[in-house]
């Protein structure tokens, strides 16, 4: 990030351009045409129902024929819920059709839960409709090049429609089900929904939304809510409705709202009994992919939420195994979101587009990793924001993992009481309001009622353990009659154990005096148990989200085997780089702010530079920056960098390195002290920043442009002449070859890193500041980067490198500054520091030893 000092107008262009980048990544830069249509379809078991679907068609930006995407909404939503995503896809060259499913929004008809006789037939006729549009690319007469995507209810219709219509070419179902009966009546013993425990609160939310309750606008699995008026757009036409179809809300028993009467009766039956009847299981399974084995044979990207007590990870696993068995390509992603809150909308949108680019546009986009898991990367030391890392591997492991490990468990047989009437009940998560309350389990707020729980615990772990999948435990249940239990796996460190994602595994057991042995499959999770933590298995007799027995009872629970079997996937690896691609826009937004501040600040009289520092690239004096809570990120920091130096900025996570670099660039204000570059005091947008090139906190690239186009656009935005960019030298440094002409979204992490460094070197700045420049590079690339930086400084320029690779710093840098907890620990030539260590304690003299000695001394 660099500023061209003498062109205020150019800065205005930069601010305008970059201010729109965050939106550009998600939405097109100009309004997208939206054509409202009323589409009449015929459905029902005997094709005797006429329904009017309220739809909106988005032609592809740029004109011509393009592949088409059908975008379905979540339960309780409407076509409006997915409009932003539709506009984004249209802006990236797709035709898009959104619609309100029968019984929702302004569409007529009644809700049938994605039945093959109703909603699936509707989708097949929508495909007929788009096949007749002149903007849609065809593979044959009546056969459009077509993908489907959607979340929750919309994800299920994507799967079901693919089973019944061979014209669908690729799908991206998100946070959805494999077996709706199993989702509402789960059973951790694997005996099936007939023996499952009724997910009372989630089922109540489902049916409340369709029966006119105040919850009807919330929308399960989709942002936004119901839209009775439909989404507006240019060239909108009010199509003729189906004669006699009527509004779904007006049909049937008032208690049923917009549901088909038979669906309503099924719900009333199971809600009263708390058990799944054979008829209910059959009805729910007809609307589920489990009913169509071997019939979903298209490339499928399954995106499932880790924070999801409605449709947990096992549903994506079952769908993945069924589709992969047909030979169709399948990728699975577990992301940080779901029906219980959270989410990664930008990352999900990018993955979805990349999937369609590959299978619909067939643009040569490389195959992705078969399995991706979002993991907690801690907090950015500069911004204190959470970092989400995406661990990937080339093989989907399933819930069993690629390896099983055994963790010893201990604990005596314990007595548990079932409370009469099911109250008071324990709490794991609160269905439907997880996004408001946060995840109760992870926050340490899960509640097991005294006298209702049996707990078995491991000794402290000797090393970290990353559990990926469903663990299992063998127990025995003693007593008489049936007991309902809820199994949980806690992470115990201190007084407040954490329940990963707030998930539980329910089961029913018929106890015997001799003890009924049961193997319990615990909830599927991806969770890191740190060294020193304990794993605790708890079985409790109540949970707020489920139907509970009315009669009280007492049973005993003991271990049938003193061990917990846990799944691991050692091949899952997260890139060592900074934030994921969807945070690329953040440094650019900061650049826009800085450029805007420059325009405001140009009216003030610029402070006179210090002539004695005119040849000094960087001098920092008394620099201090506090977080909002008063903690110091940088504490009275002072050091100086001379021309021609390659200086390494070292320190552990949280040392304040990134915060210091951001202050160097004028992106944040220090609370005290100052920074001078070539004698000029750094302020937001200071003209001297034109002499600084930087790569901090991730590159700011537009994913849909090529590497070359990104560099050229960046340079044009500075307003400086093209001949001053030294683009050829930068491209030689990047070494991307033919990939330079490909879209950046297809780049590996290492390729993006090299392109970012080339961008920082555009214009050959006098001071180059790089944060972890070798992340994502392989050893030969790291060696080449070392040579590049040394050559760059040898011409009289200065380089500052922040890195955690101490051996690399030792080989690249002549000088180092060591920070810890925001303070300066040591500064000087590398040789002097190495000599200090050798003289001081007879150590090996490696920089790593010196570093550990220094931060240890100051801890």
Residue 703 confidence (pLDDT): 75
Within-domain flag for 398? no
Q: Smallest Cα–Cα separation from 24: which of 598, 706, 595, 705?
A: 705
On whether both 665 and 601 belong to a single domain, the answer is yes
On whether both 284 and 185 belong to a single domain, the answer is yes
Q: Are 749 and 776 within 8 A, CB to CB?
A: yes
- Beta-carbon contacts of residue 189 (< 8 Å; ≥ 6 apart): 195, 507, 508, 509, 518, 519, 520, 521
Q: Residue 653: CA atoms inside 13 Å, Cβ hemisphere, count?
A: 8
Strand pairing category for 68-72 and 146-151: parallel
Within-domain flag for 151? yes
Q: Are 131 and 80 within 8 A, CB to CB?
A: no
CATH (domain of 552): 2.60.120.260
Q: Smallest Cα–Cα separation from 116: which of 293, 252, 285, 328?
A: 285
Q: Smallest Cα–Cα separation from 39: which of 111, 118, 115, 101?
A: 101
- Beta-carbon contacts of residue 584 (< 8 Å; ≥ 6 apart): 25, 698, 699, 700, 701, 703
CATH (domain of 313): 3.40.50.1820
Q: Smallest Cα–Cα separation from 799: which of 821, 816, 781, 777?
A: 816
Burial 8-34 (b: 16+ CB within 10 A, else e): eebbeebbebbbbbbebbbbbeeebeb
Strand partners, 610: none
What are the Cα distances from residue 348, in Å, to 60, 174, 305, 681, 827?
A: 21, 9, 11, 42, 44
Phi, psi of 444 (to 5 degrees): 80, 20
- Beta-carbon contacts of residue 257 (< 8 Å; ≥ 6 apart): 210, 211, 212, 249, 264
On whether both 558 and 622 belong to a single domain, the answer is no
Phi, psi of 443 (to 5 degrees): -80, 0
The count of domains in the chain is: 3
CA trace torsion 67, 73, 78, 82 (10° rounding):
-60
First-to-last alpha carbon distance for the chain, in angstroms, is 33
Within-domain flag for 427? yes
Phi, psi of 728 (to 5 degrees): -60, -45
Q: Are 108 and 94 within 8 A, CB to CB?
A: no
CA pair distance 652, 804, nearest whole angstrom: 8
On whether both 338 and 485 belong to a single domain, the answer is no
Within-domain flag for 414? yes
Within-domain flag for 526? yes
Residue 2 confidence (pLDDT): 37
On whether both 847 and 743 belong to a single domain, the answer is yes
CA pair distance 148, 856, nearest whole angstrom: 55
Largest CA distance in the chain: 94
CATH (domain of 822): 3.40.50.300
User: Quick one: which H or E segment has residue 760?
Assistant: helix 749-761
On whether both 544 and 613 belong to a single domain, the answer is no
Q: Are 146 and 95 within 8 A, CB to CB?
A: no
CA pair distance 214, 157, nearest whole angstrom: 25
Last residue of a domain, one of 541, 568, 595: 568
CA pair distance 138, 176, nearest whole angstrom: 29
3-state SS assignment for residue 688: helix
Within-domain flag for 25? no
The single-letter DSSP state of residue 310 is S
CA pair distance 258, 103, nearest whole angstrom: 6
Q: Are 55 and 39 within 8 A, CB to CB?
A: yes
Q: Are 172 and 319 within 8 A, CB to CB?
A: no
Name the region of 835 (left: φ>0; alpha: ψ -120 to 50; beta: rest): alpha
On whether both 682 and 803 belong to a single domain, the answer is yes
Within-domain flag for 631? yes
The single-letter DSSP state of residue 351 is H
Question: Which residues of the chain carry a pLDDT beneath 70?
Answer: 1-31, 209-255, 365-367, 378-386, 432-445, 575-607, 696-700, 733-734, 749, 776-780, 804-805, 835-851, 854-859
Last residue of a domain, one of 361, 393, 425: 393
On whether both 62 and 145 belong to a single domain, the answer is yes
On whether both 88 and 203 belong to a single domain, the answer is yes
CA pair distance 430, 621, nearest whole angstrom: 52
Residue 463, burial from CB neighbour count under 10 angstroms (0-12, 13-18, 19+): exposed
Last residue of a domain, one of 544, 568, 592: 568
Strand pairing category for 403-408 and 798-802: unpaired
CA pair distance 490, 146, nearest whole angstrom: 44
CA pair distance 648, 91, nearest whole angstrom: 43
Strands (E), 193-305: 300-305
Domain residues for 538?
403-568
Q: Are 35 and 236 within 8 A, CB to CB?
A: yes
Q: Are 211 and 202 within 8 A, CB to CB?
A: no
Q: Are 37 and 57 within 8 A, CB to CB?
A: yes
Burial 574-599 (b: 16+ CB within 10 A, else e): bbebbbbbbbbbbbbebbbbbbbbbe
Across the beta sheet with 386-393, the strand order is: 35-43, 49-58, 95-99, 68-72, 146-151, 168-174, 300-305, 330-335, 371-379, 386-393, 573-574
Q: Are 757 and 776 within 8 A, CB to CB?
A: no
> In terms of residues, how long is the chain?
859
On whether both 306 and 164 belong to a single domain, the answer is yes
The count of other CB atoms within 10 Å of the CB of residue 420 is: 12
Computed from CA positions of residues 370, 375, 380, 386, in that sequence, does the dihedral angle turn out positive or negative? positive
CA pair distance 701, 1, nearest whole angstrom: 12
CA pair distance 648, 289, nearest whole angstrom: 56
Within-domain flag for 447? yes
On whether both 154 and 261 belong to a single domain, the answer is yes
The count of other CB atoms within 10 Å of the CB of residue 612 is: 9
On whether both 474 and 588 belong to a single domain, the answer is no
Q: Are 594 and 3 within 8 A, CB to CB?
A: yes
CA pair distance 361, 66, nearest whole angstrom: 8
Q: Are 440 and 389 within 8 A, CB to CB?
A: no
């Amino acid at each position: 990030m660099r500023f061209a000092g003498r062109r205020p107008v150019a800065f205005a262009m930069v601010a305008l351009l970059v201010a729109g980048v965050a939106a550009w990544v998600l939405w097109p830069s100009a309004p997208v045409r939206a054509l409202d249509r009323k589409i009449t379809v015929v459905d029902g078991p005997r094709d005797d129902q006429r329904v009017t679907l309220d739809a909106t068609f988005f032609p592809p930006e740029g004109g011509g024929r393009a592949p088409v995407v059908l975008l379905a909404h979540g339960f309780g939503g409407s076509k409006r819920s997915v409009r932003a995503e539709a506009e984004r896809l249209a802006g990236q060259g797709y035709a898009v059709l959104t619609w309100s499913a029968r019984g929702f929004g302004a569409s007529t008809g009644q809700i049938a839960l994605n039945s093959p006789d109703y909603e699936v037939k509707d989708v097949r006729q929508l495909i007929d409709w788009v096949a007749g549009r002149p903007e849609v690319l065809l593979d044959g007469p009546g056969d459009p090049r077509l993908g489907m995507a959607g979340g929750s209810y919309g994800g299920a219709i994507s799967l079901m429609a693919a089973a019944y219509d061979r014209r669908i070419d690729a799908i991206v179902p998100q946070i959805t089900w494999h077996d709706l009966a199993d989702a509402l009546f789960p059973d951790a013993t694997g005996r099936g929904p007939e023996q499952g425990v009724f997910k009372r609160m989630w089922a109540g939310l489902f049916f409340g939304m369709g029966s006119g309750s105040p919850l009807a606008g919330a929308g399960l699995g989709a942002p936004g809510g119901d839209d009775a008026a439909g989404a507006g757009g240019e060239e909108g036409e009010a199509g003729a409705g189906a004669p006699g179809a009527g509004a779904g809300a007006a049909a049937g028993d008032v208690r049923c709202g917009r549901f088909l009467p038979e669906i309503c009766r099924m719900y009333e039956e199971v809600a009263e009994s708390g058990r799944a009847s054979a008829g209910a299981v059959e009805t729910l399974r007809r609307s589920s992919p489990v009913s169509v084995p071997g019939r979903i044979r298209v490339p499928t990207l399954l995106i499932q939420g880790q924070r999801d007590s409605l449709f947990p990870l096992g549903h994506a696993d079952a769908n993945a195994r069924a589709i992969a068995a047909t030979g169709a390509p399948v990728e699975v992603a577990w992301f940080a979101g779901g029906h219980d809150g959270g989410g990664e909308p930008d990352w999900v949108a990018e993955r979805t587009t990349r999937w369609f680019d590959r299978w619909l546009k067939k643009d040569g986009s490389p195959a992705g990793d078969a399995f991706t898991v979002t993991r907690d990367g801690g907090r950015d030391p500069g911004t204190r924001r959470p970092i989400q890392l995406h661990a990937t591997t080339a093989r989907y492991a399933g819930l069993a993992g690629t390896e099983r490990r055994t963790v010893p468990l201990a604990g005596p047989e314990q007595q548990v009481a079932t409370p009469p009437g099911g109250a008071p009940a324990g709490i794991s998560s609160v269905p439907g309001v997880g996004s408001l309350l946060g995840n109760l389990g992870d926050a340490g707020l899960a509640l097991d009622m005294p006298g209702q729980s049996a707990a078995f615990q491991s000794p402290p772990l000797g090393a970290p353990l990353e559990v990926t999948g469903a663990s299992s435990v063998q127990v025995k249940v003693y007593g008489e009659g049936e007991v309902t239990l809820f199994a949980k796996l806690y992470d115990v460190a201190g007084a407040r154990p954490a329940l990963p994602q707030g998930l539980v595994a329910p089961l029913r057991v018929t106890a015997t005096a001799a003890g009924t042995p049961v193997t319990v499959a615990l909830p599927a999770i991806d969770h890191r148990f740190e060294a020193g933590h304990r794993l605790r298995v708890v079985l409790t007799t109540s949970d707020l989200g489920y139907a509970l027995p009315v009669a009280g009872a007492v049973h005993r629970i003991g271990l049938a085997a003193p061990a917990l079997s846990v799944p691991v996937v050692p091949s899952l690896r997260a890139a060592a780089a900074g934030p994921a691609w969807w945070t690329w826009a953040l440094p650019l937004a900061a650049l826009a702010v800085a450029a805007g501040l420059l325009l405001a600040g140009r009216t003030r009289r610029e402070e006179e530079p210090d002539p004695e520092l005119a040849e000094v690239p960087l001098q920092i004096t008394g620099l201090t920056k506090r977080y909002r809570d008063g903690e110091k990120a940088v504490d009275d920091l002072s050091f100086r960098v001379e021309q021609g130096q390659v200086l390494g900025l070292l320190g552990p996570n949280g040392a304040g390195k990134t915060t210091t670099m951001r202050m160097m660039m004028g992106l944040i204000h220090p609370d005290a002290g100052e920074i001078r570059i070539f004698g000029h005091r750094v302020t937001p947008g200071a003209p001297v920043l034109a002499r600084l090139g930087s790569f901090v906190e991730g590159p700011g690239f537009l994913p849909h442009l090529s590497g070359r186009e990104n560099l050229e656009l960046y340079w044009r935005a500075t307003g400086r002449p093209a001949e001053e960019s030294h683009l050829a030298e930068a491209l030689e440094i990047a070494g991307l070859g033919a990939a330079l002409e490909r879209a950046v979204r297809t780049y590996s992490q290492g390729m993006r890193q090299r392109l970012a460094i080339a961008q920082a070197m555009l214009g050959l700045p006098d001071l180059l500041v790089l944060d972890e420049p070798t992340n994502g590079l392989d050893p030969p690339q790291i060696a080449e980067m070392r040579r590049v930086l040394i050559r760059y400084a040898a011409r009289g320029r200065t380089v500052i490198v922040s890195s955690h690779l101490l051996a690399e710093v030792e080989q690249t840098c002549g000088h180092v500054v060591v920070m810890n907890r925001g303070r300066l620990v040591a500064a000087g030539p590398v040789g002097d520091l190495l000599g200090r260590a050798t003289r001081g304690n007879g150590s090996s003299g490696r920089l790593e030893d010196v570093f550990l000695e220094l931060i240890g001394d100051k801890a």
